[in-house]
Chains A and B, each alone.
Chain A
Amino acid sequence: MTRTEYMNRLEQLLSTVPETEREEALSYYSDYFEDANGSDDEVIASLGSPEEIAESIKLGLSDNGEGGVFTETGFESREGKKDELGSFTAIEKIIGEESTGNKYSYGNKSELREIPEPQVNKNDRTVLMIVLFIICLPMIIGVLSTVFGLVVGAISTIFGIGVGLIGAIVGLFGSAIALVIVGIATISQIGLNASLVLIGAGLICAALGVFCIWLEGAYIYLVKKLIPLIIRFAKWVWHAIFGIFKKEEVNA
């Protein structure tokens, strides 16, 4: 398995975790490959399969906030959570309150105890999210419509200019050919000078046509750069709207 295959597989396996978490993890492991001084095979051998990595990431996410016990006798891992990773996945949640609250007494150990988790009723949370979603719906629809309009407008404009240029090219070359043919054909009727003027005009049209071809080429190049930007903008707007909800889901 190559590094690319490994990372692709990992991305696939993480498709169920929130996007920010997925990107975070992927960039971590891509850094890891870069920093580990070894062949891809060696690094993969030491990391383990993508399945194991994905499992450890998911466990890390789901374990977040569930309690272990912090007692006088030291730290006790939560039982029953041990898996192939050893006891490291057992989470002792003692971080979070100590810097603000008085939950920890540095001097008196008998007061050290398990920190009660904030009680969040998941059902209440879900109902709240749905209500919030319904309230925000008109706004969301408005924003989405605007974005949709902008994107369609942008694409139409881009497309329109491209097609317009092609039209100009065809027209210019058509005129060029017509002018040259007419110039040559009518030489006996209108005289050499007039005929040369017509042929000259035809050549100018051809030159303009060539210029338009160049313009079209440059334009297509520009558009190729522009489209990813538009897609990124659309994605950004999408995340700005739904990121809020996703974040809430993660916290819930």
Chain B
Amino acid sequence: MIFNTGAALLDAIVLAIVSRQMSGTYGYKITQEVRQVIELSESTLYPVLRRLQKDECLEVFDQQFDGRNRRYYKITEKGRAQLNLYISEWTSYSNKINQIFEGGIVG
């Protein structure tokens, strides 16, 4: 893709993907789902998840899977509020861009 994905947009995408799984989801799955939307090297996601976790937008818990502990990520109330903010910002941002492209707004 020729457009860069900024950190905030990446945060928003990750939060949105995690929020779709009420019971939580895990790192590999999140990575693959993000990669369906944007180009992203597989090593990029861990720092993002870790930061969102530290910022209390995501919470983690371990659950038995296949005889081992797997780490799951779940969105918090704060994360949900943050995601809503991102979504409303994104909507107004992309609307304006679209309007420019369609010739709607004149100087």
Q: Which residues of A contact B (CB under 8 A)?
A: 21, 24-25, 27-29, 31-32, 34-36, 46-48, 52-53, 56-57, 59-61, 63-64, 68, 70, 73-77, 85-92, 94-96, 98-99, 104, 106, 109
Contact = CB atoms under 8 A, between A and B. Distances in A.
Contacts, number: 117
B47 A89 contact: yes
Given A36-B28, A77-B7, A96-B55, A59 B78 contact: no
Nearest to B78: A99
Contact of A57 (B47, B78, B81): B47
Interface string B59-98: 0000000101011000001100110010011001100000
Given A68-B7, A77-B7, 10 more contacts: A28-B71, A34-B66, A60-B51, A64-B54, A68-B8, A74-B93, A87-B6, A89-B7, A89-B47, A95-B52
Contacts of B57: 95
| B contact residues, range | 35 or more
B23 interface: no
Interface of B: 4-11, 26-29, 31, 40-44, 46-52, 54-55, 57, 66, 68, 70-71, 77-78, 81-82, 85, 88-89, 92-93
Contacts of B48: 60, 88
